[in-house]
Structure 1
Amino acid sequence: MATTRLRAVLAFALLIASVDASSAPERGVVPQMKSRLFVLTDIGADPDDTQSLIRLLLYSNEIDMEGLVAVTSVHQKTLLEPDSIRRVLRQYAQVQGNLSLHDVAYPTAHALLALVATGQPAYGQAAVGEGKASEGSRRIVAALKRPDTRPLWITDWGGANTLAQALFNIRETESPVEAKRLISKLRVYAISDQDDSGAWIRKEFPELFYIVSPGGYGAATWMGMSIFVDGMDNTTVSNGWLASHIQQGHGPLGAAYPDVAYGMEGDTPSFLALIPNGLNVPERPDWGGWGGRYTLRMPPLSETDPKGFNGGVPVVPESRPIWTNTVDTITPMIAKPFGRATGPTSRSYTGFRETLWRWRDDFQNDFAARMDWTVTDRAHANHPPTIRLAHGDHLAARAGDFVRLSALGTSDPDGDSLSYHWFVYPEAGTCAMAIPLSSADNVYQTSFTAPKVDRACDAHFILRVTDKGTPPLTRYGRVVVSITPK
């Protein structure tokens, strides 16, 4: 009788285990919640806002859009152009059905049109205060009050006075405890300061999570979006590439993408880090991703290019730490015609813009593929590979341990051949020493020996997987290894 009972218990345990295994995520695959996004845009002041909006719509299946608000800026002080947003959404409406062939999560144009609103038709902090709430500022407050535990990202492509008004109203109308709770849900990425309210916000709300490159635009990380990099192939940000891969032969949404006037898509870095690609971790700007890498500090005024062009917005010393520019050193990899498929260039680059443009070819090709989705069916378009790690994405090791990293099981939905590249991202971690990898490139696995350390530190290992479709698409795996002394 005891044997029978034991068999029954074991059978039940196996049944439960099989259910748990089938319902749990695969090992190494960490599902990332969609980010909530509220956009403030001075659309109409420069064609780049329209460019960025078009790209954003192609990722509206990956991001929960909650607001599209026309605001003013130093470049457009009294004019709001919500109809420019609606015009782009009407172009999106014509391709949304085809996009849904690739992912049913694409929202309808009707749903997105309901998100369009306006801020105050006046410039900067002068438009903030008692009785100056706008439809846009009220919608920010309403979004924060929704019973959603996820952070609300505000990407500011223009002036910040609509956000400043929302914060003003929260402070004036809510209890200190409730105001603190609501503000703690906010995440702000501002494309520099395009009015005088950004500095006011950072001073008045020192606890607010705020990413910005203050001062002259030449001192901004987002400039890495389109700058010409000497010694590198800049094809994917050229006018000819945009014409061939975005504007021409890609339906009404591609045709609506305007030519570059001042710079290509200066606002796009504000949301690139929200795209789930295996590299991006929105809550950790210091880990780096498609939108660049940032560190929490108080930049000296001299570093912000205070006399550089920013339209005349006053540049003042920061009153508290902000997430701002930091530096990467990279040696780009290039394709080789013979032997090993890729190899390092002969030149390394160091700087804050490098934290963004190092990923540029990858996110430009991703953009081109998504624009293809607007006019092709699933069978005739490319889709990104799916990374599968054979272990967790956070590992522990002691100095001297041999550690093997593997992406066995990584696949491509279109059946494309895949290329692999493992590398260490030292700036994202806290280990000061170099950690050499022991295997050749273009292999799905690699290994290393944990270095001698005096105290615990974290090392970041990045896997970059690229398919051989057209255009080639890339996804990543990030493995953080915590190394402790032996």
Structure 2
Amino acid sequence: MTLSSNSRFLTCVLVLMSFSTFALSEVPSAIAKQQNHRMVVLSDIEADPDDAQTLVRLLLYVNQIDIEGLVATTSVHQKLMVAPESMHKIIDAYGLVRDNLEQHEKGFPSAKHLHDLVKKGLPIYGMQGVGEDKDSPGSDWLIKAIEKRDPRPLWVTVWGGANTLAQALFRLQQTKSADELAALVSKLRVYTISDQDDSGAWIRKQFPTLFYIVSPGGYGAATWTGINTYVDGIDNTTISNPWLADNIQQGHGPLGMQYPDVAYGMEGDTPTWLNLILNGLSDPEHPQWGGWGGRYELYVPKLADMDPKGFTGGVPVEPETRAIWTNATDTYMPALSSEYGRSLKLSDKSYTGYRTTLWRWRDELQNDFAARMDWTTKPYAEANHPPVPVLNHEQTLTVQSEQYFNLDARNSFDPDGDSLQFWWFNYPEAGSLPDEYIKVTSAENMNRVAVKAPKVTKPQQLHFILKVTDRGTPAITRYQRVIVNVNP
């Protein structure tokens, strides 16, 4: 039968009560390491509708990411204009739903706080906007964020051109000692959506120690395109225009109304911050471990691999002079649903590529987006909320070569009382045996599974991912990562 809102609420209360003793003692240990990340956004909003799309999504996660600046910038696609007013318009819509969001998770800042973070860079393209007398409210604000006394790194996510960041670094270079500058640069984490002006290459050359994630060169060779690329052989429904209309745009209140139609590609800028979401999957300090925003490795890419003749909007493609965090390759085998017998099983079909590192999570991140958009209009009892995966052991295990061991998440639960679906899998590329997939020896969809460690002649590291998905609507997935050190 269908539960009424009141009876569902009662069910939720009973479920939470049944876990009360456990929750007090065990849940904090499972999520205690999760801490909001600091972030400043540089956006060429209005160059393409995708920046507005990305900002709408971001505002649903501003209780999990500490936004410290929203800077309107130029890019190769918008050289002479910045549009902070478009940010304010979307934040106004957020202000109308903020109190409803707060019913579902705490910590959503006021619209006024977010309005105060909106700044603008110079309406000048690229390196023409870098140098003496090129400071702007945006670059000044960014310097304040960099200099802020906070032990956490500062993520600068660049959705358009990077020249506001270049100017901030230029000014710091002019005003700080070498040691002071090195300390400030060490706090920065930069993720840019390709190079949308000529300042990105300058930054990487001038500041060779700067933590920098980018797929330089033609957009056709970029990991970020995995968020919206059509993949043959899989269900692409969650990136379709009808899905966006039904789940985001229509009937989802004033914030959903601010999500524009796709023009060139859905949300090309969103991957810059997806790995900062507190979903249990990624560790942003380790881009090679992978997550919703893709997986990246540290090396000097070859010019020929950067699609140098592909579309860049006219930004020159230069050889890289130092190692950057850039495209990595995953081989992904999906889990397939079965009508009878084992409810989930590993597909015998695999997909390999750098875009795969991102699109492999796409349905899960899209459903999460849809669920949070529901939060803008629905009361708690009528919406879905994330399950809580809980390990019955430490997140790091040490075993011997060829030893059997167990991975156990039997105490996982759902705050809405929904049934849970489990899936355990090895993520070989995140460990030290990237070419060896270590299978779970029992059914992968049980809450407690068995694994046999591989035979090794030197210490190796394995990564296993637990996916816990509830059966609410839209279904929401949360994760735990278990790192297994295997000794000879």
The verdict on a shared fold, with TM-score over 0.5 as the criterion, is yes
2:450 to 447, 454, 465: 447
1:442 corresponds to which letter in structure 2? Answer: N
For residue 31 of structure 1, report the CA deviation from its aligned partner.
Answer: 2.6
Is the CA contact 1:27–1:389 (under 8 Å) kept in the aligned structure 2?
A: no
Q: Is 2:263 the counterpart of 1:261?
A: yes
Aligned partner letter, 2:111: A
Deviation track 1:46-91 (CA, whole Å, cap 9, x = no partner) reads 0000000000000001000000000000000010000000010011
Alpha-carbon distance in 1 for matches of 2:195, 2:287: 19
Equivalent of 1:368, from 370, 383, 405?
370
In structure 1, give the amino acid aligned to 2:203: I
- Which residue type is aligned with residue 63 of structure 2? N
For the 8 Å contact 1:27–1:392, the answer to whether it is kept is no
Counterpart in 2 of 1:234? 236
Which residue of 2 is the match for residue 406 of structure 1? Answer: 408
- Asked if 1:182 is matched to 2:184, the reply is yes
1:483 aligns with 2:486: yes
Contact kept? 1:28, 1:391, Cα under 8 Å: no
**Which secondary structure state, in structure 1, belongs to the residue aligned with residue 443 of structure 2?**
coil
* 1:199 alignment counterpart: 201
In structure 2, what is the Cα distance between the partners aligned to 1:121 and 1:88? 21
Q: Counterparts in 2 of 1:265-414, with a 5 A limit?
A: 265-414=267-416
How many equivalent residue pairs? Answer: 465
Amino acid at match of 1:168: F
Contact 2:425 2:444 in 1 (8 A): no
Q: Deviations over 1:133-186 (max 9, x none)?
A: 111111111011111000000000000000000111111101111111111000
Q: Does 1:472 align with 2:475?
A: yes
Distance in structure 1 (CA, Å) of the matches to 2:460 and 2:141: 42
> Could you say which structure has the larger radius of gyration?
1
How many Å apart are 1:334 and its aligned residue? Answer: 2.2
Q: Following TM superposition, by how much is the alpha carbon of 1:29 offset from its aligned partner in structure 2, in angstroms?
A: 3.7
Q: Within 2, Cα distance between the matches of 1:331 and 1:202?
A: 35
Residue 101 of structure 1 aligns to a residue in which SS?
helix
Deviation per CA, 1:312-351: give whole Å up to 9, x if none.
0000000100000010001111221111112233421100
Secondary structure at the counterpart of residue 104 of structure 2:
coil
Contact 2:88–2:115 (Cα < 8 Å) also in 1: yes
Once residues 400 and 215 of structure 1 are traced to their aligned partners in structure 2, the CA distance between those partners, rounded to angstroms, is: 44
Find the aligned partners of 2:413 and 2:270 in 1 and give their Cα distance. 29
Q: Which residue of the partner structure matches residue 12 of structure 1?
A: none
Moved over 3 A (4+): 21-30
Structure-2 separation of matches of 1:364 and 1:260? 15
Q: Root-mean-square deviation (CA), in Å? A: 1.3
| Aligned with residue 423 of structure 2, among 400, 421, 424 | 421
> What are the Cα deviations for residues 187-219 of structure 1, in whole angstroms up to 9, with x where unaligned?
000000000000000000000000000011010
Matched ranges for 1:146-157 at <5 A: 146-157=148-159
Q: Does 1:117 align with 2:119?
A: yes
User: 1:78 matched to which residue of 2?
Assistant: 80
Instruction: Calculate percent identity across the aligned residue pairs.
Output: 57
1:383 to partner: Cα distance: 0.4
Structure 2 CA distance for aligned equivalents of residues 165 and 67 of structure 1: 16
User: In structure 2, what is the Cα distance between the partners aligned to 1:56 and 1:176?
Assistant: 35
State the match for 2:462 in structure 1: 459
Q: CA–CA distance in 2 between the matches of 1:56 and 1:29?
A: 22
Q: Which residue of 2 aligns with 1:437?
A: 440
- Change in Cα spacing, 1:453 to 1:346, as seen in structure 2 (3 Å) is closer
Q: CA deviation at 1:132?
A: 1.0
Residue aligning to 2:213? 211
2:96 aligned with 1:94: yes
Name the structure 2 match of 1:11: none
Which stretch of structure 1 is more off in the superposition, 120-129 or 397-406? Answer: 397-406
Report the counterpart of residue 11 of structure 2 in structure 1: none
For 1:251 and 1:208, locate their aligned partners in 2 and report how far apart those are by CA, in whole Å: 41
| DSSP-derived class of the 1:100 partner | helix
Give how far 1:428 is off.
0.4
Structure 1 residue 447, shift from structure 2 partner:
1.5
Partners of 2:437 and 2:355 lie apart in 1 by 23
What TM-score, normalized to structure 1? 0.94
Distance 1:160 1:435 in 2: 41
For 1:482 and 1:80, how far apart are their aligned partners in 2? 50
Between 1:321-330 and 1:26-35, the stretch displaced more is 26-35
- Cα distance in structure 1, aligned partners of 2:38 and 2:350: 36
Q: Distance in 2 between matches of 1:232 and 1:345?
A: 12
**In 2: Cα distance, 1:105 partner to 1:27 partner:** 21
Q: In the alignment, what sits opposite 1:68?
A: 70
Q: Would the aligned equivalents of 2:294 and 2:358 in 1 still touch at CA under 8 Å? A: yes
Equivalent residue letter for 1:472: A
